[in-house]
Structure 1
Amino acid sequence: MKWKTFIFILSLSLFLVGCSEKAYEPKEINVETDICKVCNMGIAHEDYAAELIFKNGDYEVFDDLGCLVEFMKDVEESEVGAAYIKSADGNEWLPVEDATYVYSKDYWTPMNYGVLAFPSKDAAEQYMEENGEGEVYSFEQLDNFQWGIHF
């Protein structure tokens, strides 16, 4: 009888620990109503969109990675649940800290920051081979990136 009780308590404990981890998932962009929090532009090109999800469940949307990064400078890290960026092909949301980034002044983005996101370094390098040179960055390296509009 004690063995069954132990298994039950262990199972319940693991279940409760698993439930305590809140998943922060990106929401679909509504191009008709979503507005970038930084530049107030409509999210007309959702393939470049970014989202910041707060732990309280609030969302902010951005039309360009540069706008997200600028906004995050003024946000307490403890308030952030997750941040996502659309992959360069626009097919998937990537957690910003896991993506690989490529910058080129010749890459078009909505606010002309010229930084694109990729799910892997290999994907980023393949893109550069096909579309011209660029510079590869991790999310941490973007802290030192000279953000601003790169005309």
Structure 2
Amino acid sequence: MTRWIMIVIICGVILVGCGEKTYLPREINSETDVCEVCNMSIVHNEYAGQIVLKNGDYEIFDDIGCLMDYIELNGDGEVGAAYIKNKATNEWIDVYKAIYVYNKNYWTPMNYGVIAFATKDEAKEWMNDEEEGQLFAYRDLLTLNWGIHE
């Protein structure tokens, strides 16, 4: 009986090790991190984005527009996870689940005019306090006409 218990425990440990890999965001270092697309320093951390590749490497971006350019050029097959800063809380949120607000007059580091929020309520509250904008989901960004970047 003890032998069977040991076999079950070993199999359980092996299966846990084969589970889905977790890709977590890392902190931005404004002194050394530069945008993968435009090579600008990340001086406005509150607009930063990052992709964690399946091999564990990080690609850092100063604006959601640069992150989207990277995905358009490279595809998302090697992307383990992607994160953007929440404008309401300055915390990392999932790029694919975020709610976006676009207005070509919004200031962002590369003038894409898109900011991210974790929820639609956060986005609407921000729009009530600021200039109006349009709400978008991630899939909408794939075909968005990006203001000055048309």
TM-score range, shorter chain: 0.7 to 0.9
Asked if structure 1 preserves the Cα contact closer than 8 Å seen for 2:113 and 2:146, the reply is no
Aligned residues: 149
Question: Match for 1:65: what amino acid?
Answer: I
Q: d(CA) in 2 for partners of 1:82 and 1:29?
A: 16
2:115 matched to which residue of 1? 116
TM-superposition CA deviations, 1:109-145 (whole Å, max 9, x none)? 1001110000001111111111121000000111110
Question: Amino acid of the residue matched to residue 125 of structure 1?
Answer: K
Question: Which runs of 5 or more residues in structure 2 are unaligned?
Answer: none
Equivalent position SS for 1:102: strand
Q: How does 1:1-151 map to 2 (within 5 A)?
A: 1=1, 5=4, 9=8, 13=11, 15-19=13-17, 20-89=19-88, 91-147=90-146, 149=148
**8 A Cα contact 1:105 1:150, kept in partner:** no
Q: CA RMSD in A?
A: 2.2
Per mean C-alpha deviation after superposition, the further-off stretch among 130-139 and 141-150 is: 141-150
Runs of 4+ in 1 over 6 A off after TM superposition: none
Amino acid at match of 1:37: E
Q: Once the 2 structures are TM-superposed, how far is the Cα of residue 6 of structure 1 from its aligned partner?
A: 6.7
After alignment, is 66-75 or 81-90 more displaced?
Answer: 81-90
Question: What is the percent sequence identity of the aligned residues?
Answer: 48
Please give the TM-score of this superposition, normalised by the length of structure 2: 0.88
CA deviation map 1:90-124 (0-9, x unaligned): 52101100100000122111001110000001111
The alignment's TM-score, normalised by the length of structure 1, stands at 0.87
Q: Does the Cα contact within 8 Å between 1:47 and 1:89 map onto a contact in 2? A: no
* Partner Cα separation in structure 2 for residue 89 and residue 123 of structure 1: 7
Contact 1:48/1:90 (CA < 8 Å) preserved in 2? no
